[in-house]
Structures are given as C-alpha cells and as structure tokens.
C-alpha cells in the first residue's frame, strides 16, 4: 500500500467513524416536507420513530443505517390526516350490506336479496341515496314489508342522517303515527308512516338493535385501519365516538394491534360528557381525546339541514335542529370551562349562524381555542365574516362534487354562492382542515385533493368546475390534509410535516401530485405507508 492509499484509508475510516447511526434512511426521492417554507428534500433519516434529519442525498448519506430505501425518484408526503371521518363507522360498514352506488330502489332490493340471510336477527345495510335515482324521492317500506315480514330491516342513508325501516322494525321500536319527534322527522304519506326516519327518531330504532360483541367491535376497528393505511392515512379524526369505543381503541393501541393515530371526538351524551369532561383530556402518541362532537342539524340531502329560509324545492320546510339553541349554548359553556374543543356539525346557514354567535360569545376570553364548525356547508355570505382564528372550518371537498347535481335544487341560485365556499373560508380563518366524512364519501384522500383543486367529479364534470372561485391551490390542499389538519387537532408540533423531531409518519406515492396534470391526481396510488418509521402498508405487486 503506497502513501496516498494509506492517507485515503485513514480519512475514510475517520469519516466512517463520525457517522451517526439511525434506524432508517430514505433517499433519492422527491419529498414534500410541508414545512413553513414548503421545502422539497431528497432524503430523510429516521431514529426512534422521529424524523432525525431532512435534506439532500449527500447530507443523509453521512448517517449510517442497517436499513435504507432507494426511492428512485418517487414522491413522499407527510402522513395524511382525515380531518373529519367516521373511522369506527367505516369498520362497521364492512359488516353490513353495501348499498352505495345503487341507481334505484329496485337495485337496493336486489342487493338485499343477494346478501341477506333468513337466519339473521336483523338485516342492516348502508349507502342508499335517493338523489342518485331517476325518481329522486324517499323510498317507502311496502316492499320490505312483503319481503321481510318477520325480520327487522334497517337501511341507513349514505349520510347517516336517515333510516329506511320495515314495519317489523317500527313495531319493535314502538313507533306509531302518534310518536312525536322534535329533533327530526318521521316521514309520512297520506297520514301513514313511510318507513323513512330522519335524524332524531333513528335513535328509537338504534335502541332495539342487538348489541355487537366485543369481537365484532374490535374487528370493525382493525378492518377500518387496514383500509385507511392502504389509502395513506396515518391520523383520522373520528367525528363522534362513545366512551366504550374510545376506551376500546385505547386498549387495542396499548396492545399494539391498532397503530393508526386517532383524534377522537366525544359523542355528545350525558354519560360521555360526565366521564371525559370530569376526567380531563387524554393524550398519548396514538390517541387524543380533547374535543366534543355536537350535532347542530341534519344533512342537506335528506332536507334535515336547518336553513334561514325554506328549502327551494320544499317551500314549507326549514329543516330541524338536532340540538336545540339553548342546549347548544349550555354545552358550549360547559365544554369551554372544561378546556375541551367543541366541534359542531353544521350544514345549513341557520345553524352556522347560531354557532358563530354562540362560539363568539363563549370564546371571547379564550386565547387559542380552535373551535371547529364541521362541514360549514351552506353559509350566508355575510356570515363568512364570522370565521376567524378562533372559529375554524373543517370541510369535505368531495361533498361539493357529490352534491352539486342537486344542491342548487335544495337552496336555490342565490344561496348556492355561499355553499362549499372553501377559499372564502380559508381567507378568513387562514387555515382549513380537509377530510372526507367517510363512509359517506370514499376513503381515498386523493379524491379529496382532486375535488379541492378542480371542483369537478371524477368524470371531469363540470368542465369549468363547480363554483370554481372557491377552489383551493395544490399547496393549500396538501396543507389542509396535513399540517392544517394537525393544527385543528392542536398537534402541529408533532405531526403534519416532515421536520426534525416530528413523528416519522409518511407515505410513498406513485406520482408527483404537485406537478402532474390535474386530471391525473385522483388516480394516485399509495405504495407504502409508515407510522413512526415502521412500515404498516405496502402495495401488492401484480
């Protein structure tokens, strides 16, 4: 060995000895960090479940790791966050008859015949939507009564705000023509119950349904996790969970069976509130329980959203509040005193106005409450001014592109200008959380991305986008699915971007959604999903 070779060997050994050991290196990629400068990096190093270093290939290659991934130019995003969904509900849906996409009530009946069993104690399905049918009217129970005279049938509308049930279910629930409901509607025709129950009366049916086993509940959560990981979701905001399911989630997470991070909004019930508001927030690396989900009104599709003026296509109907104004005000005061966040479902402009007024009063002396109006769907244009850094919008872009076919029928040409107004809301609050409301919509977050930036459905309709002035930019949309969604959860310092010291949640996708043609974005596939640097999903190669 000559002198120069010896010097080279000494220098090489010196630098090798200076390398820090990490758990995983990912390099040669196109990495959107979504940090304050929206920097794009080439490589990352991960240690102890956290991002340890972010930078160029040259910088990261100064670290030593037994495991590394060559991205070969693939794109990485921070782990995606669904800011409003029903995670547990998604899992439960895997255990009932799928009625999504049905084009008629006849098709609903056909699916029931194919999938129902005469040995069951109840027939359950979810996903029908009369707005997708040629005859856009609520179905009636007569054919269900003939097919299933002795078994209760409960079919949930896609938005979760209406049931179609048969006479057997009505009898078991003791629902008659004389049954009263102030927080919903029992639809009647010629004075007789049709079988459609909107909002409040659905609870009478819930009371007669058989209790699920612990195994069924656990499987629902684990099945939902598989679907979410496949779609690149690493955190989900479940908009309404009971004490029992929250504690079950905590148990499965502690056993390391449930690895997805969950922002659990407490369902508004006396039992839930008495337990959690007294106990105080729960915060672990996987579970955050510090908010309450309240239902202000119902859904637009079932005409349960509460409007300032009557429905354009139903002039005698204003919709109905699910929670009375005085109860909303009392709840807001109680939640604020407990230092919890209040997240209220509000579809109609009357409900949004009620919440803005209530929130503004209760939060006057609160420094950074980040209370949320979930959906923020139909808003009087002048009420958009009520959103600010204390009152934040949490919206679902695919609702706009699903509802656009009939939304104007419900509210008319003037009110539609304040509908699904995401850009206007962002301009007021400076942040906006984006979700899907799955299983109302599909889980796929890249459908969210496409709908937000194009305001079109997957068929490219309408050509110029629905109310395109309220489209979001690609950067705003990605932030709404990552760092801004984390901000709405008070978790922006631990997740939502790829930065040193944050949780190493990230996904590898098959295309660069920030630069490809808009029409190609919704076709994006998730190749791998990581939680704390651990691989939790990898696409199967054909």
Cβ count within 10 A of residue 198: 25
Provide DSSP, 231-251.
TTEEEEEEEEE-HHHHHHHHH
- Phi and psi angles of residue 517, each rounded to the nearest 5 degrees, phi first: -60, 140
Q: Is 240 left (phi over 0), alpha (psi -120 to 50) or beta?
A: left
Query: Quick one: pLDDT at residue 2?
Result: 55
Query: What's the DSSP call for residue 540?
Result: P
- Residue 393's DSSP bridge partners are 373
Beta strand 526-531 with 506-509: parallel, antiparallel or unpaired?
Answer: antiparallel
Query: Quick one: pLDDT at residue 11?
Result: 45
Q: Which residue has the tokens 């796929």?
A: 444
In degrees, to the nearest 5, what angle opens at C-alpha 213 toward C-alphas 210 and 216?
Answer: 110
Beta strand 153-157 with 162-165: parallel, antiparallel or unpaired?
Answer: antiparallel
Decide: residue 458, CB within 10 A, 0-12 exposed, 13-18 middle, 19+ buried. middle
Q: In what order do the strands lie in the sheet with 50-55?
A: 50-55, 43-47, 24-27, 68-70
- Phi and psi angles of residue 66, each rounded to the nearest 5 degrees, phi first: -70, -20
Nearest to 491 by CA among 75, 89, 88, 78: 78
Q: What is the pTM of this model?
A: 0.89
Nearest to 61 by CA among 6, 3, 19: 19
CA atoms within 13 Å, Cβ hemisphere of 233:
31
Determine contact, residues 347/297, Cβ cutoff 8 Å.
yes
Structure tokens at 507: 């996904």
* Max Cα distance, the chain (Å): 103
Cβ count within 10 A of residue 327: 14
Cβ count within 10 A of residue 326: 8
Query: Quick one: pLDDT at residue 135?
Result: 86
- Residue 30's DSSP bridge partners are 75
- Tens of pLDDT, residue by residue, the chain (542 residues): 555 544 543 444 344 445 789 999 999 999 999 999 999 999 999 999 999 999 999 999 889 898 999 999 999 999 999 999 999 999 999 999 999 999 999 999 999 998 877 667 899 999 999 988 998 899 999 999 999 999 999 999 988 889 999 999 999 999 999 898 878 899 999 999 999 999 889 999 999 999 999 999 999 999 999 999 999 999 999 999 999 999 999 999 999 999 999 999 999 999 999 999 999 999 999 999 999 999 999 999 989 999 999 999 999 999 999 999 999 999 999 999 999 999 999 999 999 999 999 999 999 999 999 999 999 999 999 999 999 999 999 999 999 999 999 999 999 999 999 999 999 999 999 999 999 999 999 999 999 999 999 999 999 999 999 999 999 999 999 999 999 999 999 999 999 999 999 999 999 999 999 999 999 999 999 999 999 999 999 998 65
């Amino acid at each position: 060995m000559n002198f120069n070779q010896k010097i080279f060997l000494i220098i090489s050994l010196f630098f090798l000895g200076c390398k820090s050991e990490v758990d995983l290196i990912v390099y040669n990629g196109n990495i959107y960090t979504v940090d304050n400068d929206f920097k794009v990096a080439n490589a990352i190093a991960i240690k102890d479940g956290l991002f340890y270093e972010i930078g160029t290939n040259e910088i990261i290659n100064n670290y030593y790791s037994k495991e590394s991934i060559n991205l070969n130019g693939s794109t990485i995003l921070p782990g995606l966050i669904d800011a409003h969904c029903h995670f547990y509900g998604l899992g439960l849906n895997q255990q009932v008859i799928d009625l999504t996409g049905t084009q008629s009530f006849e098709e609903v009946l056909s699916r029931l015949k194919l999938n129902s069993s005469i040995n069951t104690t109840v027939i359950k399905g979810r996903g029908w939507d009369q707005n997708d049918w040629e005859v856009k009217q609520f179905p009636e129970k007569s054919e269900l009564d003939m097919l299933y005279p002795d078994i209760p049938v409960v079919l949930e509308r896609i938005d979760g705000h209406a049931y179609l049930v048969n006479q057997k279910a009505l009898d078991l629930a003791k629902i008659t023509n004389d049954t009263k409901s102030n927080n919903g509607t029992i639809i009647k025709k010629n004075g007789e119950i049709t079988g459609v129950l909107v909002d409040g009366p659905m609870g009478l049916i819930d009371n007669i349904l058989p209790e699920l086993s612990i195994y069924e509940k656990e499987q629902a959560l684990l099945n939902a996790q598989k679907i979410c990981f496949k779609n690149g979701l690493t955190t989900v905001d479940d908009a309404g969970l009971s004490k029992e399911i929250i504690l079950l989630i905590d148990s499965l997470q502690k056993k390391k069976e449930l690895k997805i991070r969950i922002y659990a909004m407490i369902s508004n019930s006396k039992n839930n509130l008495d337990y959690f508001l007294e106990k105080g927030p729960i915060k672990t690396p996987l579970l955050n329980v510090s908010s309450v989900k309240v239902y202000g009104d119902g859904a637009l599709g079932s005409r349960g959203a509460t409007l300032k003026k009557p429905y354009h296509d139903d002039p005698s109907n204003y919709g109905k509040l699910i929670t009375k104004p005085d109860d909303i005000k009392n709840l807001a005061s109680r939640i604020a005193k407990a230092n919890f966040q209040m997240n209220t479902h509000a579809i109609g402009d009357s409900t949004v106005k009620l919440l803005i007024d209530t929130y503004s009063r209760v939060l006057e002396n609160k420094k950074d409450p980040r209370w949320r109006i979930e959906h923020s769907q139909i808003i009087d244009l002048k009420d958009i001014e009520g959103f600010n850094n204390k009152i934040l919008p949490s919206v679902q872009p695919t609702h706009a592109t699903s509802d656009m076919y009939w939304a104007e029928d419900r509210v008319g040409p003037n009110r539609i200008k304040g509908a699904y107004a995401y850009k206007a809301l962002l301009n007021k609050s400076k942040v906006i959380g984006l979700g899907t409301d799955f299983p109302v919509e599909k889980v796929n977050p890249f459908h969210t991305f496409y709908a937000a930036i194009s305001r079109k459905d997957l068929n490219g309709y309408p050509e110029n986008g629905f109310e395109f002035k309220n489209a979001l930019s690609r950067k705003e949309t990605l932030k709404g699915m990552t760092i801004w969604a984390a901000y709405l959860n008070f978790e922006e310092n631990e997740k939502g971007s790829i930065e040193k010291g944050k949780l190493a949640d990230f996904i590898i996708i098959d295309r660069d959604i920030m630069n490809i043609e808009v029409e190609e974005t919704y076709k994006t596939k998730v190749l791998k999903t990581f939680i704390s640097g651990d691989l939790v999903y990898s696409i199967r190669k054909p």
